[in-house]
Chain A
């Protein structure tokens, strides 16, 4: 059995769109401000209130999307829990830092520290779901989700695991937003910020799955020719050719500096392809590439692409998408290529 296709059994998101559903495909919410926070679901349905009271937003969101994805997938105990996060649990980190910087080193509380490390999220999900399996957290800026999915895919491909819960989670507190904006990462030019919590369960069995990860390649500081060869390797991995790609989904966000790098790749490698985007719907943050994965999966699953995902509708619209290539980059250094196909 070749293990090229890792089947997507379920996805769940909490974002600036309606949470835990796919309403955004028909009724997207548009925002005027470039700083908005996620729309929270009624957590009582998912987490006992006593427990939820002790949890920060990112912890509630990550646990909820994980539990929903696990439930929808029917896989109670995935073989691995693999998590991405760019800045981790910033709310608690900021509170801890504020006390440290304003009041000195005598009044710090353990709860803030315990729930400030990046791996708090992934281990919390394991504790909550009693999962002793492989557990790891990637924290690598805008490719944190891509790194998590890449690990899961590679382990699956080489027979180490048969299923995985992969998620990526970042919160953008008011203070984080100020810092990210100063860094030129979020909220620049026409860009809106969006917090992210996305979880997906992948499995070796195709039953009930509508789509699959067909190949992943990630490369650091590539030259133009290395981007070309990476795309070719990706297609060879999936036994496909460029013609098989229905659409290319890129992470343009309204930030001119980072957007131009996507346009360069499109001009060089995918001039005739239909280009899609998603960050104008879900916003930008370190985990935003998980929304690209989620949106592409929704399109493959439902068999259509909403109008507003086309960068340029005059390029021609496609009926039922079969294969979507996701392109993401982090500061123009790491480039990630993820190929999803319908099944």
Chain B
């Protein structure tokens, strides 16, 4: 069992809102952010997407960045989300100077690379966006906006990147290396991965329907979310209140196939089991599970198998919130962690939008946002290509509020 880590700040930018309050309102109202393509310059207008409803120029203005500065859409969304998290936690520049930053992304600066690629190669003059292609630069652009962190690293495990960034930050706090770690992920939509997912034939031209018998693929989304993780001592010293507690986590590899999950959901099963053990909790302690639930036939079936294996006939309320936000790929782990924190703090169950038909061998997801019992302990799943499967266990901070 590992030490609990305190979450003292959280920020989010997504298709359903540009901060926690807007996201909460959308979740409670059952209002999806998925719509026709508006911002991404793509030929594929047939796929609905969960875009952040801002242009890069608008974000640059909101952040008060020089218009000619080198930025990417991923870094801009990241800065906006991180600003909310740092404001929440009331971090000073001195706090930042002894904190770690761990960020997850896969596309990095691909939005600029795919736009300027031929110019990168053919033009002898150095295009200013060449240097921002990689993941590491993306993290540095985001965190440098706020000050000089003591440590910066980038995790790239496809759709579990942000979850693994959270895990890495928590591990460094548990090891006593840092008191504070700002963790999460950011990912904008690109033609590169929209076409990649399309080539795999896993995009739905309709609104996605996680865990529904008729599900036929995912809707991509974009966004960013960051958490401020903190040790108990640091939180007390700074006299700040926790929003939630990260009680445990699991990181495993399904080790089955580059794009498909093992039929019995070995990776998802092991990830959730490890998170429970790490937190010292039992299956009966879990009040809600935010599933990976992409709405692909393969994911939802194998995740259901894993849930049945772990919880047998007492599966807690489960939902996928991907029909709200779209699948935000590398950012999904932290975006859904913030959704879980909102669920715990506001005592509701995020519903599984667009669900109508019970799937064969599948779980029955949450359709009523009113919980039967308090929402205290929550699992949050993120699974990536290659079987990079991770699960986070988030808890209510109520017992610490009374101290």
**Cβ-defined contact, B267 with A132, below 8 A:** yes
A108 to B191 CA separation, bound complex (whole angstroms): 11
Given the interface contacts A105-B195, A132-B254, does A113 sit within 8 Å of B200 by beta carbon? yes
A266 to B38 CA separation, bound complex (whole angstroms): 53
A133 to B113 CA separation, bound complex (whole angstroms): 34
Q: Chain A residues near B134: list those with CB within 8 A.
A: 86-87, 139, 141, 286
B196 in contact (CB, < 8 A) = yes
**Cβ-defined contact, A110 with B200, below 8 A:** yes
In angstroms, how far is the closest chain B Cβ from the Cβ of A337? Answer: 13
B192 in contact (CB, < 8 A) = yes
| Nearest chain B residue, comparing its CB with the CB of A226 | B150
**Cβ-defined contact, A108 with B174, below 8 A:** no
Q: Chain A 237-271 against B: per-residue CB contact (8 Å), 1 yes, 0 no?
A: 00000000000000000000000000000000000
Q: Chain A 99-124 against B: per-residue CB contact (8 Å), 1 yes, 0 no?
A: 01110111011101111111110111
Using a Cβ–Cβ cut-off of 8 Å, how many residues does chain A contribute to the interface with B? 66
A39 in contact (CB, < 8 A) = no
- Looking at the complex, which one of A81, A86, A87, A157 makes contact with B253 (CB distance below 8 Å)? A81
**Cβ-defined contact, A135 with B252, below 8 A:** yes
In angstroms, how far is the closest chain A Cβ from the Cβ of B247? Answer: 16
**Cβ-defined contact, A114 with B385, below 8 A:** yes
B155 in contact (CB, < 8 A) = yes
A122 to B155 CA separation, bound complex (whole angstroms): 12
**Cβ-defined contact, B191 with A158, below 8 A:** no
A147 to B154 CA separation, bound complex (whole angstroms): 9
A130 in contact (CB, < 8 A) = yes
**Cβ-defined contact, A100 with B195, below 8 A:** yes
Within 8 A of A (CB), among B117-138: 117-118, 120-121, 126-127, 130-131, 133-137
**Cβ-defined contact, B255 with A126, below 8 A:** yes
**Cβ-defined contact, A101 with B157, below 8 A:** no
Range class of the B interface residue count = 35 or more
A218 in contact (CB, < 8 A) = yes
Given the interface contacts A135-B253, A155-B171, does A123 sit within 8 Å of B192 by beta carbon? no
Q: Chain B residues near A145: list those with CB within 8 A.
A: none
- Looking at the complex, which one of B114, B137, B154, B388 makes contact with A138 (CB distance below 8 Å)? B154
B223 in contact (CB, < 8 A) = no
**Cβ-defined contact, B154 with A139, below 8 A:** yes
B386 in contact (CB, < 8 A) = yes
A175 to B174 CA separation, bound complex (whole angstroms): 42
Closest A-B pairs by Cβ, 3 of them: A123-B386, A113-B196, A135-B253
Given A117-B385, A127-B255, 11 extra CB contacts under 8 A? A88-B156, A110-B259, A119-B156, A132-B252, A139-B134, A140-B153, A144-B136, A158-B171, A179-B121, A182-B127, A219-B150
Q: Which residues of B contact A (CB under 8 A)?
A: 42-44, 106, 108, 113-114, 117-118, 120-121, 126-127, 130-131, 133-137, 139-140, 148-158, 164, 168, 171-172, 174-175, 177, 191-193, 195-201, 251-259, 266-267, 270, 384-388
The contact sample of 9 A-B pairs, CB cut-off 8 A, is: A81-B253, A88-B156, A100-B195, A115-B258, A120-B385, A137-B156, A139-B155, A140-B139, A182-B120
